[in-house]
Amino acid sequence: MRKLNVLVIFGGCSSEYEVSLESASAILEHLDRAKYRPLPLGITADGRWLFFQGDIKKIRDNTWANEKDAVPALLSPERIDHRLLLFPDPDKAPESVPVDLAFPVIHGKNGEDGTLQGLLELFGIPLAGCGTLSSALCMDKDRAHRLAALAGVRVPRSLQLNSPDPISQALSFALEIGFPLYVKPVRSGSSCGITRVERPEELPDAVSLAFHYDSRVILEENIEGFEVGCAVLGTERLITGEPDEIELSEGFFNYTEKYTLKTSAIHVPARVDRELAARLKETAKRIYRALDCAVFARVDMFLTPEGDIVFNEVNTIPGFTEHSRYPGMMKAAGFSFSQVLDEIIRLAVRS
């Protein structure tokens, strides 16, 4: 059987650049070399596209973008013949490598928000992950919440601000829903630019920080309870992992906690009964369908003390290291890391 050439795209012009390097390293290490030929395509933080041919460890420690291991590259736009074009010598014609499918592992802006997915779909390259529309919708917290609400899922009360809007509008809404509340960039991941606001005087700085990450900001009510997640795999027939639970000692699951777990813990499976776990899985699938997700995604929700499920967000390219939440939930459901990758690639080729 011919090996599939799998283009693993990592890095990117995103505040989550380092996270992408970790995820891509894990994926490259776990791809079955008997079935797949990995093609690591990195995008530097300043936007250069480079085909990497060195030791995978150099991706993890961010020393990959060097002249010895990486050559300038770009994707051919030909829809019939999918190829990666390599330019080791600027004075000679480019070399080319066939591409069977693309596996984007760029978290956040310019990778998870539909921009890269649109390019791949324009070129006709099979995509291991959610498509353009779904990626854009899931990155947009305001629109994602609106669609989830239409699907009958409870969402936090919220207010969207555009940059010209006066801070008095935010303060009026904050006083209406009460403190604490959260101020977030509408389109950002890994909790970048998010502030838990305890008092009215903290609001201006929180809004200013969020606008540093996006041109739109959202204020959300605090949901009492704890955060849970559910890994979903599939396009027509959906498989779920076992829901997980985030235990916090204080504050919220910010960037530092997500990647260090200094004062928090993740429980897989979540410490809930079987009936509630089933409800979480069904709600995750409903949200996944409502936002047009495909192949795989992680659905994050809140669980209140009364047992209500409240939508938080969908990560269309969740963290993908061995210790990340998505692989952890699938492992708890009986799927190894390599089996999950196999299924993702199978779904991508079939789409």
The per-residue pLDDT for range 42-88, each reduced to its tens digit, is 999 999 999 999 999 999 999 999 999 999 999 999 999 999 999 99
Q: Give tens-digit pLDDT for 94-148.
A: 999 999 999 999 998 889 999 999 999 999 999 999 999 999 999 999 999 999 9
Q: Which range is least confidently modeled, 187-196, 219-228, 323-332? A: 187-196
- Of 42, 60, 155, 54, the C-alpha closest to 104 is 42
301 and 268 fall within a common domain: yes
Q: Using one digit for the tens of pLDDT, what is the confidence trace for 303-316?
A: 999 999 999 999 99
Establish if 148 belongs to a structural domain: yes
Q: What is the pLDDT of residue 351?
A: 74
Over its C-alpha atoms, the chain yields an Rg (Å, rounded) of 21
Number of domains in the chain: 3
**Domain-ending residue, one of 221, 252, 276:** 221
Residue 132 lies in a domain: no
Q: Report the pLDDT value the prediction gives residue 249, as an integer from 0 to 100.
A: 66
CATH number at residue 173: 3.30.1490.20
Q: Does residue 133 form part of some domain? A: no
Domain identity same for 121 and 65: yes
Look at residue 261 in the predicted model and tell me its pLDDT. 53
Whole domain around residue 206: which residue ranges? 158-221
| 23 membership: H or E segment, kind and range | helix 17-30
Region 199-210 average pLDDT = 95
Average pLDDT over residues 194-214: 95
For residue 44, the tally of other CB atoms under 10 A from its CB is: 16
Residue 120 falls inside a structural domain:
yes
Report yes or no on 238 lying in a domain: yes
pLDDT at 7 over 80: yes
In this structure, the answer to whether residues 85 and 163 fall within a common structural domain is no
Co-location of 185 and 243 in the same domain: no
Q: Do residues 148 and 297 both lie within one domain? A: yes
Q: How far apart are CA 184 and CA 218, in angstroms?
A: 5
- 272 and 144 in a single domain? The answer is yes
What residues contact residue 319 under an 8 Å CB cut-off, 6+ apart? Answer: 19, 22, 23, 107, 258, 325, 326
Would you state the pLDDT for residue 322?
80
Both 99 and 205 in one domain: the answer is no
In a domain, residue 233? The reply is yes
Strand ranges inside the chain, DSSP E: 4-11, 36-43, 49-52, 70-75, 83-86, 95-98, 101-104, 158-162, 181-185, 195-197, 216-221, 226-233, 239-240, 244-248, 264-267, 296-303, 309-315
What is the residue-averaged pLDDT of the chain?
A: 93
**187 with 280, same domain?**
no
Q: Are residues 182 and 229 in the same domain?
A: no
Q: What percentage of the chain has pLDDT greater than the value 90?
A: 87
**In a 3-state reduction of DSSP, which class is residue 176?**
helix
User: Are 46 and 184 members of one domain?
Assistant: no
> Which pLDDT band holds residue 188 (cuts at 50, 70, 90)?
confident
> Is residue 302 a part of any domain in this protein?
yes
Indicate whether 231 and 314 sit together in one domain. Answer: yes
User: Of 221, 248, 264, which residue is a domain's last?
Assistant: 221
Does the residue 275 lie in any domain? yes
Mean pLDDT across 257-270: 70
Going by C-beta distance under 8 Å and a sequence separation of 6 or more, which residues neighbour residue 26? Answer: 320, 321, 322, 324, 337
**What's the pLDDT score for residue 237?**
97
Q: How confident is the model at residue 295 (pLDDT cuts 50, 70, 90)?
A: very high
Last residue of a domain, one of 206, 221, 236: 221
Do both 259 and 215 map to the same domain?
A: no
Where do we find the tokens 């770009």?
Answer: 74
Helical axes 141-150 vs 274-290, angle rounded to 10°: 110
